[in-house]
Amino acid sequence: MGYNSHSLSFGLVLSQVDPQLPSVVLAVLLLIFLAITAILLCSKTRFYRSLLKDYKEGCYEALMKTVEARNHVTEGHANRMQEMVSILAAASGCTDKEIHDLRLLAQFHDIGKIGIPDHILSKPGPLNEEEYCIMQRHCAIGYRIALSAPDLTHIADWILKHHERWNGKGYPLGLKESEIPLACRILAVADAYDAMTSDRPYRKAMDPEKAVNELIINAGTQFDPDLVILFISCREKLNNIVF
């Protein structure tokens, strides 16, 4: 895929972003687009690749800070997620390369929420049917953003599928059991635990033991039951992560 196709696909992403989003969000997206474009244009020049590396990483970091702030995710969520998926992936027998990619997924899985309106992301109560349908779009939006970013292309499929459930009642594809990539199944357990044990504007953090019990209750429906057992067996290592 060359420069023109990357530019076109990212342009399609921008065209589907809600026009009511804060201008700073759109500005961050534009910065990323400009960084990717510049890197692609200069890809044959080692000096410029090195020069632009920090700029590109800064754009990605700014984007994720924006997503976290708009989604009311607690500070340190991305770092905790990366550590948790690393522990689970290693216990599952994943290779170093697979663990590296999983850490990337942990950092960018919710990147598509940049395209979800604030009133839905920050709603203090349950979403209605229409709002829930809009929220579900973040997987596809994130997938398209990842395809437009050379460093994320290889995890785009995981970003698309990270809300699938073991019983096939997830979204957007309704995949079940082993149809769901292992990376997504690992992320689902780690993300749910971190969400339950973190404060949100509309609720206080759940006690860790109660959160583990919720994982057990939902094993075989929402979560891969083997991974829930693995999570429990790794509790000593997981407890070393600061929540």
Distance of CA 205 to the CA centre of its chain: 21
Give pLDDT, residue 52. Answer: 58
One pLDDT digit (tens) per residue for the chain, 243 residues? 444 444 444 444 544 444 444 545 555 655 565 565 555 555 555 655 555 555 566 666 666 666 666 665 656 777 889 999 999 999 999 999 999 999 999 988 988 888 888 888 878 778 899 999 999 999 999 998 888 877 889 999 999 999 999 999 999 999 999 999 999 999 999 999 998 998 776 678 899 999 999 999 999 999 999 999 999 999 888 877 754
**For the chain, what's the residue count?**
243
The DSSP output letter for 243 is -
Question: What is the structure's pLDDT at 4?
Answer: 46
Tell me the C-alpha distance between 157 and 38, whole Å: 25
Instruction: Give the C-alpha distances (Å, rounded to integers) separating 17 from 51, 101, 217.
Output: 30, 26, 37
pLDDT at 30: 52
pTM: 0.78
